[in-house]
Structure 1
Amino acid sequence: MSGNWQRRWHPLLMQWVLISARSAARPWSGAMATSSQQTAAVHDPDCYLCPRVTRANGQVNPDYQGAYAFDNDFPSLSFDAPAEASSTNENELHRTAPAHGECRVLCWSERHDATLASITQAEMRAVARLWQSEYRSLSARKGIENVLIFENKGVEIGVSNLHPHGQIYATAFVTDTASRMRDAQAAHAREHAGESLLQNLLQDPHTQSELMVEKNALFSVIVPFAARFAYETWIVPHRHVSSVADMSDAELDELADVYQRQVRRYDLLFRRSAPNITLLHNAPCDTAHQADNLHWCFHLAFQPPLRDPEKLKFLAGFESGSNNIVNPVQPEQAAQQLRQIDTDTWQS
């Protein structure tokens, strides 16, 4: 099989990915990712994300409708973390730093039984505007250097609250992945007369012919050439735009529309409300690397944990030990499968 048993260079992460399509055909006697698809209630009085419910901290959610955001009651980062004396960093083997930042919860809908695939087009577009307003607000805050908007969806990846929601970690440092992506894009621009790495990747003939899932006026959905997950896809804008903050209303609307079509593709591919990790890769907002941040091109990454409707992708010994991910599905075949799915057949 062409492209099998092959290492592919991931230009954004600057690391190798192994393509081993034959590994998908191994006899399987491990855990199966079955889903009961139980019908959820429209409103769950025991869910702390539903309207009118009292959360663990005693605050009562408003009777909200549509997209709604609030501070996480149990944040992983906080500006309340004490500043540490410099003496604690004198031992280079035991360096520490305060975990400053802000964590936000983003409810996509007041309905407990909704998903981003099931809400209306207008509601999905309101979600995209929430992404924009939250990024603008947090990136302008003093001390914030990186804003990662994400969604963890599905019990398969450990989600404990099934109300449709995402999160934001706004950190007082640039994350490891963002640092790597920024370095890669800035280096590419220096070496190619200011050209955008992601725009060049998108315009590459192989991407256009073999890895394209959907192409419309302002965005494309592609399977990356060095996909790390079996059915990983990226939404890439047709113009170089660093973050959702810089998108026009038309771009936000189309981003929302193409996003919804893609999550419906996953539902149809996996024959369920599909689990997923979604990452909005906006440019860092630190002042120390402003010039390099200008070379950052926004993209939105979907990383579904399933390799087929019943099998999860686990990062076990080799991958955990080497940080070289093995993808059991050839990216060109994944793109072909996704491209052939008619999203008009999706039903909630």
Structure 2
Amino acid sequence: MFDWIQQLSDWLVFNVLNLEKGRHLTEALNFFIYDSIKILLLVLVIIFFMGIVNSYFPVEKVRNYLSRKKLYGFEYLMASSFGVVTPFCSCSSVPLFIGFVKGGIPLGVTFAFLITSPLVNEVAIGLFIGLFGVKTTFIYVISGVLLGTISGMILQKLKLEKYLSTWVKQVLENSQHETEKFELEHTSFKDKLPSIWKETKTILKGIFPYVLVGIAIGGLMHGYIPEGFFEQYMRKDNFFAVPLATIMAVPMYMNASGVLPVIQVLVSKGIPLGTAIAFMMGVVGLSLPEAMLLKKVMTIKLIAIFFSVVTACIIISGYIFNIIF
């Protein structure tokens, strides 16, 4: 399917640039050109497709539905699934999280969305398909949705509302006396296409530098780091490799478009897929910038509980991935 891209990359590297085969720079550059074209094309197609989905399921309608319907537990799955179709990193998900809270949606349900949104979205799916194939992507999407759903249910059971910030408590009090009205826009698909394409270009423009930086780092690692360098620290027979990778990732911050090309190279260097994905989930789903934004709506204790529950779920997911693959 992508043979033409590899041929184009080979032609540019070996014929146009006239670089010698087998050199570190040659291998790194070939990797960078091939993956950049392949991943950006995949991401473009998937962002456009998800833009169509989003145009029929806008944020306001979902928030309105979740806040007014008793769904007997399915609201966690719905919120987590909604996180899949929102192209946000952990930090940009926070304002929407605040909107969910203001809309009167239970805290656990808002957590389910907040967890899944940065982990699984059209960008991550496009990258995953290009880097790891359809089967692995499918399992990753399912695990990401379940991670958000289960974490949200656990956090709701802990009854953590008392740890919300004073500002949020005031907002919730006021929201009980307010009613919101959402208008349905009856717009034809043809009329929606220009705005969908505009949004697609905006998202692609926003992630473009992250994709290139991530692939560049991956290319350097692919070309210069010797085989087995990472394997000695995060090999499969090291039982503590998954929690180590997850905990190391938490202080870092990068979105899926930047970190996934790096993960691909880590896997190619011998790190088990589950360990690498646990690292990625930690980087994408939990970060210090996100914690700073959450301080607006949560106390430090609630942030610590939230991070702890999600970290534990990520570690479990990493072990499951390693068993499957």
TM-score (norm 1): 0.31
More strand by share: 1
More helix by share: 2
TM-score (norm 2): 0.32
